[in-house]
Structure 1
Amino acid sequence: MVTRRQILGGGAFLAAAATWTKTSAMGLPEAPVMESPDMQTPIFPSSGPDYQPVATLNGWTLPHRVVGGVKEFHLVAEPVERELSPGMTAYLWGYNGQSPGPTIEAVEGDRVRIYVTNRLPEHTTVHWHGMILPNGMDGVTGLTQPGIPPGKTFVYEFDLVKSGTFMYHPHADEMVQMAMGMMGMFIIHPKDPAFMRVDRDFVFLLNAFDIAPGSYVPKVMTMTDFNLWCFNSRLFPAISPLPVALNDRVRVRVGNLTMTNHPVHMHGYDFEVTCTDGGWTRPEARWPEVSIDIPVGAMRAYEFDAKYPGDWAIHCHKSHHTMNAMGHDVPTFIGVDKTEVARKIRRVQPEYMPMGNRGMADMGEMEMPLPDNTVKMMDGWGQFGPIEMGSMFSVVKVREGLAATDYADPGWFEHPEGTVSYEWTGDTPVPVKSGDAKTMPPAATHGGHTPG
């Protein structure tokens, strides 16, 4: 992580920073920049109330300073380059070097002061989605404030009156600015450190882009026909895994700022929905799920006890949303004999590979030339071969002995002998001992669980 002042001192971004100088920035909090697309280690609190910080998938938490008892943050709205996946970069708009912007974390009862500097070519605002605050801090251009002109800095200041999971995004030229990637998460931890305490707390946004193969800038006029579906502006296999220690209490918070709903499904577990946009779900009102549908402009958080070791998939259950660079006008060739047409095409294009007549699974393992700046429809390899997924897909990796501060990828799960599906060759199967803690512990209910 570097500071914007360090970057400007080194001569980078000078063309875009004509109105942003070290002199004009005097007195402002630093505006750190994140250039890495990888998930950063959570920032544990060093003072004030204790809390379990969130880990943002392929993201980071914005540092702050305290002035007169007020927590001060600095967001910079600006053009950014985001690596959606190795081999594909998008030219987006975001905050502090990335899209989505950094996660903001504070504690219920805090007073926050958020400086927002605009380095976009047009005015912007920030709306604090779902939060209770003074009307003039709500960030709606023309209604509650004038737009922040390019080169100017505005201040938002308010008290955090409730804990929960919230988002931030512009309410200025919203269709364009959100389609370009301007959004982020805002987490308010309970003032009681024991309330709803968990051992691991993950957060990410669902977002989508329409970027034609070979191009870099999203089509901002797209309403429904998106071709790239992301967790935090990343595509599988470039999405961070969720490393979890065996027996951890785990929370996953998901916000949706796409143009459609997403049924997020997690394998291997049932879980409880413990938080919505409106706040924490009372224990008697929680409901069990294995998939949770997240509406547009909404947030859902769920929790589970990590009792079952393994590599458990987590993904959107709309099948097209687990495919990269979808071409929606491609005809279906299932059952078509392409032998003769392939022979003729190879006369002029020797590298032509016919596909689709048996389904699309071949895409998972074939390596073929791609247009510049695009990704395979299905990508990513596991220990047993191609995973044949993309876009909104990741893995919850539950491991025994994982340190509380360890968020590194632990690698592939080492399956105990006799616990992997295998080909039957006519022999009598050897039964797996039921209840083996290394395979599948007895099912447990989570009803009424209230940490702390």
Structure 2
Amino acid sequence: MVSRRQFIGAGAALAGAAAWSRTSAMSLPEAPVMEDATTQPPLMPSAGPEYNPVVTLNGWSLPFRMNNGVKEFHLVAEPVERQMGEGMTAYLWGYNGQSPGPTIECVEGDRVRIFVSNKLPEHTTVHWHGMLLPCGMDGVTGLTQPPIPPGKTFVYEFDMKKSGTFMYHPHGDEMVQMAMGMMGFFVVHPKDPTFMPVDRDFVFLLSAYDIDPGTYIPRVMEMTDFNLWAINSRVFPDVAPLVVRKDDRVRVRVGNLTMTNHPIHMHGYDFEVTCTDGGWVRPEARWPEVTIDIPVGAMRAYEFDAVYEGDWALHCHKSHHTMNAMGHEIPTFIGADKTAVTRKLKQVQPEYMPMGTKGMADMAEMSMPIPDNTIPMMTGWGQFGSLEMGGMFTVVKVREGIEPGNYDDPGDYQHPPGTVAYEWTGSLPEAAAAPASSEQGSALPATPVRDVTPTGGHSGH
């Protein structure tokens, strides 16, 4: 049995944030348990080929031990409590204390052995989504293996035939177990460390839940009408930022195990799509994007050079997916005069506040009573006020001088003078004035007029 020091190797920083539990069967690898929803530092490999580890937003990577040349991991399927944001906890199912479960990392050519212990109230399996392996290791209940009963441990063992980004999730009572949060990332690094190198490598899964305000357990029978759209089971403003050093080469890997597609949009940059679940995209086949649609049950990775400093939004572009705890049966009151009804309601409910007559932005700034264990629909504050966001939203923070391996939030971006949009007051500030050789007036810039002078004897348009 390896020592704990040998087991976690260079990832010792993980132990400070994790609660470790030793399994009763000493022949099994230890099963680390993460109780914190903060982003953990990248876990450097303790043995085997070197690789540049990934950073899982609001998550962590699962340590391994070496056993006669085989990398051994231990996943525990179990009920978990996940803090989706400040003031709200969900009772989910996951792995090793969290949902999503820990990211598994290895190297192309590795042989892995994954012990899966079942602490759920029903049987389960694990399907290794997108991976090439023996059919009997594919994890489909009844088809390729018997289910793992509660209290039992099964073993999966296979070779890593190709590098790339994959996922894992149950293929037993899948509708319930995935709706309860059972999912995780599986990253296989290239054997050749000079192939597709990046400086910073982020991973996160998109997940969705229907949890009624004031309650804790997802409604697993929901098909489309979800009210919490999450990045790694966290909702904004409690989704960790992607902290990047200026001029780094950055990869972002996004997996989608929800019931709908998600167009993921990043501000401030264009990027190249470099990988799917099927493998790496050849350079001549890549295409530029600012938004990449992530289909259901799929992964996409994109890369960019972090040349522009700033706080750049990254979010799903379906507008409802950047909201929390939405009630989808609320009528639209825009333009309605609620003066009379407000006066009557205040007689029986003095705290009543009329909303929605001018839009919904006021909801982000109001302090209104909500049930316990519920997150406001719109929330989050920046240096210029309310962001009026939630759900699948986070920020890419590009800064000069960030040390390698440092992922701490650097705070708000300090904009250089003259680079922030400002109110027009009748004249331009001196710093923004046009060169002296240009005509300068006190009015707004003139709108160019298209020349519509008839030509060739025709007066038509």
| TM-score, with structure 2 as normaliser | 0.89
What are the superposed Cα offsets for residues 8-27 of structure 1, whole Å, 9 maximum, x if unpaired?
xxxxxxxxxxxxxx54x221
Aligned structure 1 segments of 4 or more residues deviating by more than 6 angstroms: none
Question: Are 2:176 and 1:176 equivalent residues in the alignment?
Answer: yes
Aligned residue type for 1:273: V
CA contact under 8 A between 1:4 and 1:31: conserved in structure 2?
A: yes
Question: Are 2:133 and 1:133 equivalent residues in the alignment?
Answer: yes
Aligned to 1:316: 316
Tell me the distance in 2 between the aligned counterparts of 1:428 and 1:357: 34
CA contact under 8 A between 1:49 and 1:193: conserved in structure 2?
A: no
Aligned to 1:288: 288
Question: Are 2:363 and 1:357 equivalent residues in the alignment?
Answer: no
Aligned residue type for 1:428: L
What is the CA distance between 1:230 and its match in structure 2? Answer: 0.4
Question: Are 2:279 and 1:279 equivalent residues in the alignment?
Answer: yes
Aligned to 2:245: 245
What are the superposed Cα offsets for residues 229-276 of structure 1, whole Å, 9 maximum, x if unpaired?
000000000000000000000000000000000000000000000001
Aligned to 1:325: 325
Aligned residue type for 1:242: L
Tell me the distance in 2 between the aligned counterparts of 1:157 and 1:417: 58
Tell me the distance in 1 between the aligned counterparts of 2:43 and 2:141: 33
Tell me the distance in 2 between the aligned counterparts of 1:433 and 1:294: 44
Tell me the distance in 2 between the aligned counterparts of 1:261 and 1:433: 45
Pair 287,432 (structure 1): closer, same or farther in 2 beyond 3 Å:
farther
What are the superposed Cα offsets for residues 118-174 of structure 1, whole Å, 9 maximum, x if unpaired?
000000000000000000000000000000000000000000000000000000000
CA contact under 8 A between 2:271 and 2:304: conserved in structure 1?
A: yes
What is the CA distance between 1:363 and its match in structure 2? Answer: 1.2
Question: Are 2:79 and 1:62 equivalent residues in the alignment?
Answer: no
> What secondary structure sits across from 1:253 in the alignment?
strand
What is the CA distance between 1:4 and its match in structure 2? Answer: 2.0
Pair 432,69 (structure 1): closer, same or farther in 2 beyond 3 Å:
farther
Tell me the distance in 2 between the aligned counterparts of 1:186 and 1:380: 31
Tell me the distance in 2 between the aligned counterparts of 1:180 and 1:370: 24
What are the superposed Cα offsets for residues 205-234 of structure 1, whole Å, 9 maximum, x if unpaired?
000000000111000000000000000000
Aligned to 1:335: 335
What is the CA distance between 1:395 and its match in structure 2? Answer: 0.1
Tell me the distance in 2 between the aligned counterparts of 1:388 and 1:357: 17
Deviates more, 1:138-147 or 1:363-372: 363-372
1:426-445 maps to which residues of 2 (within 5 A)? 426-430=426-430
> What secondary structure sits across from 2:330 in the alignment?
coil
Aligned to 2:9: none
Aligned to 2:48: 48
Tell me the distance in 1 between the aligned counterparts of 2:45 and 2:360: 48
Question: Are 2:413 and 1:387 equivalent residues in the alignment?
Answer: no
Aligned to 2:20: 3
Tell me the distance in 1 between the aligned counterparts of 2:249 and 2:339: 54
Aligned to 2:305: 305
Aligned to 1:109: 109
Aligned to 2:77: 77
Aligned residue type for 1:230: A
Cα RMSD (Å) of the superposition? 1.2
Aligned to 1:190: 190
CA contact under 8 A between 1:230 and 1:392: conserved in structure 2?
A: yes
> What secondary structure sits across from 2:347 in the alignment?
helix
CA contact under 8 A between 2:47 and 2:66: conserved in structure 1?
A: no
Deviates more, 1:398-407 or 1:362-371: 362-371
> What secondary structure sits across from 1:178 in the alignment?
helix
Aligned to 2:416: 416
Question: Are 2:35 and 1:35 equivalent residues in the alignment?
Answer: yes
CA contact under 8 A between 1:198 and 1:249: conserved in structure 2?
A: yes
Tell me the distance in 2 between the aligned counterparts of 1:260 and 1:390: 18
Deviates more, 1:349-358 or 1:294-303: 349-358
Tell me the distance in 2 between the aligned counterparts of 1:238 and 1:262: 20
Aligned residue type for 1:405: G
What is the CA distance between 1:365 and its match in structure 2? Answer: 1.1
Among the aligned pairs, what percent are the same residue?
75
Aligned residue type for 2:20: T
> What secondary structure sits across from 1:218 in the alignment?
coil
The answer for unaligned runs of 5 or more in structure 2 is 1-17, 435-461
The answer for unaligned runs of 5 or more in structure 1 is 6-21, 435-452
Tell me the distance in 2 between the aligned counterparts of 1:307 and 1:433: 27
Aligned residue type for 1:237: P
Aligned residue type for 1:207: S
